[in-house]
Amino acid sequence: MILAFDIGNTNIKISLFENGNSILQWRISTDAKRTGDEYFSILRPLFRDANVNPAKITDAILSSVVPQLIGPFVLVTQHFTGKKPLVIAPEIYEKLPLTIPESAIYEIGTDLLCDALAAWETYHQASIVVDFGTALSFTAIDQNAHIAGVAIAPGLGTALKALFNNTAQLPSVPLEVPPSTLGKNTTWSIQAGIVLGYKGLVESMIEQMKSDLHTEYKSDISKIKVIATGGLNSMLKPITNHFDEVDKDLTIKGMIKALEYARK
């Protein structure tokens, strides 16, 4: 059994894998001020209630875009398993089947790297991964397993929060699809601007990335796969036809693949 920690800016996803399949998952809030002992006290009852025997955990992997939490979760892993996890970092990149631009080796988010790895391992063709998290990211991979580039924008929730926090009269509203762009009340107006506005952003960016992959890397536009992942992809899935696949576990799957390559 493999224990995986995917630490994002807003949430931490904890997964247990067995025989290549996710058998248990939990999601908790990210707090960079918590110590490893505090996180262990949160996770221990979750494991206990799910009847997880830590002795059956044979390996562990950690991906974090919050550097302050790498140490605490190394400690958490040691508490559960008695050994350190594999931390996804530049030291293991040369073992992966992907090529990363030299300028990005120490900058690319490990979550985006895992997205790209999972996409490549699944499809073995040029792909664009759209990850709906705290940030909205677009990661492009060409047909030769080269990470061609990344585009990053504020996530839907981040944009909504910024609007609410920086205006005097606009309320926080649920992220739902409004009837149309012609908002008849404040709630629908904000939803039109955020949800439908981001639909346009996402579709436009996908089309531009496909064009750039064709121009710069000779990728066949008709064969470029578009995969959506992340917690908020469900907002746009019903109103766009630009996603070929939606896989909420893409990042975790990429982490497991990274572990396999690193341990060879």
The residues assigned a catalytic role are 111
Task: List strand residue ranges (DSSP E) for the chain, in order.
Answer: 2-7, 11-18, 21-29, 59-64, 86-87, 127-132, 135-141, 147-154, 225-229, 245-246
Q: Which run of H or of E encompasses 251?
A: helix 250-262
Strand-by-strand arrangement of the 21-29 sheet: 21-29, 11-18, 2-7, 59-64, 86-87
For residue 64 the two structure tokens come to 């974090």
Is 60 within 8 Å of 77 (Cβ atoms)? yes
| Phi, psi for residue 145 in degrees, rounded to 5 | 65, 30
Is 114 within 8 Å of 133 (Cβ atoms)? no
C-alpha to C-alpha distance for 229 and 243, rounded to whole angstroms: 10
Q: For residue 20, give Cα distances in angstroms to 23, 207, 256.
A: 9, 33, 8
- DSSP tag of 168: S
Is 113 within 8 Å of 98 (Cβ atoms)? yes
Calculate helix-pair angle for 36-49, 70-81, nearest 10 degrees.
40
Task: Write down the H helix ranges in 7-153.
Answer: 36-49, 70-81, 90-93, 110-123
